[in-house]
Amino acid sequence: MSDSEVLPVTSVLPPPIEMAGPRRILSGMQPTSDSLHLGNYIGAARQWVELQQNFEALFFVADLHALTVNPDPALLRERTRRTAAQYLAAGIDPSKSILFVQSQVPQHAELGWLLQCQTGFGEASRMTQFKDKSARLAAGEAAGGGPTVGLFAYPMLMAADILLYDSAYVPVGEDQRQHLELTRDIAERLNARFGAGTAVVPKPYIQKETAKIQDLQNPAAKMSKSSSGGRGVVWLLEPPKAAIKAIKAAVTDADPDYRVFYDPETKPGISNLLSIFSAVTGLPIADIAAEYDGRGYGYLKVDLAQAVSSFLIPFQERANMYLSDPVQLDAILADGAARAAAIAEPVLERIYDRFGLLRPNYGRLNVPAPGLATLDGGAGIVG
């Protein structure tokens, strides 16, 4: 889960996994911006809305992952609500799926530690996203002044997010496949060390036919807040006028004949605009290309800008409805956290038992065990 990292859906499913829920799937995004962007919606949230129709689906706001860049606490809290509201505005239905905030289900952090203890330093060091983000953070992007141990352990917490729910499938983009492969390796290791059935080995669920949405100023890079200084990004909660300006300023391709056709290799700028146009209108890319072929790219940009604006206005109305009533929004998230914990707790207990950890016989309640006292009136850990 990236800065608003997500975690796109093949038409042929892998065979079902015996232990998991019938077709359980999980995904999430980090609340690292005031708004998700159009790439997050097209590449992830829009797909989630379809997935919740056919899967036992869990979608979460990955606020624990966001801590790796030392966010301002008040800002993190606000962005967490804003991210959840945008999930709902995109069409996530709490009656069809489970929507929750990661930190409100403490089993995520608990399992994260267990998995850190089962992951080799070398394999964790090979994670390319850690290397990339460390370089950016070392250059001064983080308030803390550089990469943290939490950033290094990020993939193990991501593995915990997945394994905690016996997830059969995880919708991932190509940039997240390495983290999913690590999760699969960890799950297989747990089953080898502690017995079959300790963990479900999840499978990737990748929608290859859904094009990536690229940066409007740099079509070679995916749309994100860090590319082109944010100038090539369409934010879902920004004023539609700003989105219109960004689209009209989008990079196209040098072609004196103004040909319009979909080919990301030879016409990356035009292909990106066609993908966005199709996503927000539902029109086939071939039909859009035929409509604007040879007419001049300005016509395509003007009509695309209007189409995006027409998409953003009702989206923002739905998001603002939830943001204007934080009590209702928090209640939705609390209900989701309770439902998620009801799935997570038995899984964590199973793994605790397999690890040989002594469990209290009074249950996992927020009360002290009768007669339990610390030695010498204090607490400590002796290595």
Least confident range of 53-57, 72-76, 100-104, 175-179 = 175-179
Active site residue: 133, 203, 267, 301, which one? Answer: 133
Q: Give mean pLDDT, residues 25-44.
A: 94
Model pLDDT for residues 122-148, shown as the tens digit of each residue: 888 787 766 666 666 655 554 456 778
Any catalytic annotation for residue 133? yes
Angle subtended by helix axes 177-194 and 326-355, to nearest 10? 40
Any catalytic annotation for residue 248? no
- Burial of residue 255 (CB within 10 Å: 0-12, 13-18, 19+) is middle
Question: Higher-confidence residue: 17 or 226?
Answer: 226
The model's confidence at residue 231, banded by pLDDT at 50, 70 and 90, is confident
The pLDDT of residue 278 is above 80:
yes
Question: Higher-confidence residue: 145 or 22?
Answer: 145
Q: Domains for the chain: give ranges and CATH numbers.
A: 24-210+325-355 (3.40.50.620), 227-323 (1.10.240.10)
pLDDT computed for residue 379 by the predictor: 44
CA end-to-end span of the chain = 34
State the Cα–Cα distance between residues 296 and 197, nearest whole angstrom.
Answer: 60
pLDDT computed for residue 149 by the predictor: 86
Question: Higher-confidence residue: 211 or 120?
Answer: 120
pLDDT computed for residue 365 by the predictor: 52
Q: Give mean pLDDT, residues 177-204.
A: 93
The pLDDT of residue 52 is above 50:
yes
Are 171 and 88 in contact, with CB atoms under 8 Å apart? no
pLDDT computed for residue 167 by the predictor: 92
Any catalytic annotation for residue 225? yes
State the Cα–Cα distance between residues 126 and 80, nearest whole angstrom.
Answer: 30
Active site residue: 203, 222, 267, 301, which one? Answer: 222
The model's confidence at residue 213, banded by pLDDT at 50, 70 and 90, is very high
CA distances from 27 to 60, 80, 169, 219 (A): 7, 15, 9, 26
The model's confidence at residue 257, banded by pLDDT at 50, 70 and 90, is very high
The pLDDT of residue 16 is above 50:
no
Question: Higher-confidence residue: 141 or 85?
Answer: 85
Active site residue: 96, 203, 208, 225, which one? Answer: 225
3-state helix, strand, coil in the chain (%, to 5): 55, 5, 40
The model's confidence at residue 174, banded by pLDDT at 50, 70 and 90, is low
State the Cα–Cα distance between residues 319 and 163, nearest whole angstrom.
Answer: 30
Question: Higher-confidence residue: 301 or 383?
Answer: 301
Above pLDDT 90, what percent of the chain?
Answer: 68
Q: Given the DSSP bridges, would you call strands 56-61 and 97-101 parallel, antiparallel or unpaired? A: parallel
